[in-house]
Amino acid sequence: MSPSPTVKPGGTAERTRDTAPGSPAVALTDVVKRYGRGPGAVTALDGVSLSVAHGSFTCLLGASGCGKSTLLSLVAGLDDITAGSIDEVDRPVAMMFQESALFPWLTVSGNVEIALRVKGVGRAERRRRAAELLETVRLNGFEHKRPHELSGGMRQRVALARALAQEASVLLMDEPFGALDAMTRDILHDELERIWRERNLTVLFVTHNVREAVRLGDQVVLLSSRPGRVLHVYDVDMERPRRIDSTPVAQLAAEITDALREEVARHGD
């Protein structure tokens, strides 16, 4: 059971760490995130409770502005929660964004090595490990290329290698494939699933694409329009690997889409 929220002076809840056997990798309990104070305050998340199991792949869906990216930022520790608690057993976490955010003046290898350099890894070891990670994302042979010489999909592979270099147990992904064409996205789905399995990662993945969520997720979490609340958690009981255009994926995606449409219509978004 998750512990009761521990609130710091001023109303900001502390993040806690539960190491009891069987505890989830990440658990949010009654999490509230509010921006500003007084009558003008905006509540982005309101009473969000969510359990993410070790080694699972959880996808977050919802209308624009429902707080999906905010939730990731809170789990990553990039922002403070207003109330509630976040229990994180699997640490550290790494975050990957829609834009690759690579340093244009560095080579592919140099961009991956940045994460290792921050950890104090020596030059020779950095190069060796960067090469291994680039092989993992199938970019061996591109070590000396610059970001502008790569396709969008290849840049996202570099960003994924950089995230993996942090040796994180939890990978937070904020629409990482949203700007890619359908074929590139489909290929990267396969690659991400392979890496997730090989490295036993826990993934929390934000997307606007319902079929993408069903294609990838063990569970799909549908959030309400602002303020974000958990409307429904769909368990995806389908064998892997899945095809995004398969009938079972399409059927569940249609069910979730209907619920999302209803929520959007209810709020007039």
For the record, the structure tokens of 67 come out as: 């707080």
- What pLDDT, on a 0 to 100 scale, did the predictor assign at position 4? 35
Question: CB neighbours (10 Å) of residue 32?
Answer: 18
Number of residues written out for the chain: 269
Per-residue pLDDT of the chain (269 residues; tens, 9 = 90+): 333 334 433 444 444 444 443 468 999 999 999 998 888 889 999 999 999 999 999 999 998 888 999 999 999 999 999 999 998 766 789 999 888 899 999 999 999 999 899 888 898 999 999 999 999 999 989 999 999 999 999 999 999 999 999 988 999 999 999 888 999 999 999 999 999 999 999 999 999 999 999 999 999 999 998 899 999 999 999 999 999 999 999 999 999 999 999 988 887 65
Closest to 133 in 3D by CA, of 198, 209, 220, 56: 198
- What pLDDT, on a 0 to 100 scale, did the predictor assign at position 254? 97
Q: Is 133 exposed, middle or buried (0-12, 13-18, 19+ CB in 10 A)?
A: buried
Q: What are phi and psi of 92, to 5 degrees?
A: -80, 180
Torsion of CA 50, 54, 55, 56, to 10 degrees: -20
Closest to 215 in 3D by CA, of 196, 232, 239: 239
- What pLDDT, on a 0 to 100 scale, did the predictor assign at position 70? 94
Q: At 233, which helix (H) or strand (E)?
A: strand 230-235
Closest to 169 in 3D by CA, of 48, 14, 3, 17: 17
Closest to 163 in 3D by CA, of 105, 205, 209, 123: 205
Q: Which residues does residue 31 pair with via DSSP β-bridges, in sequence order?
A: 48
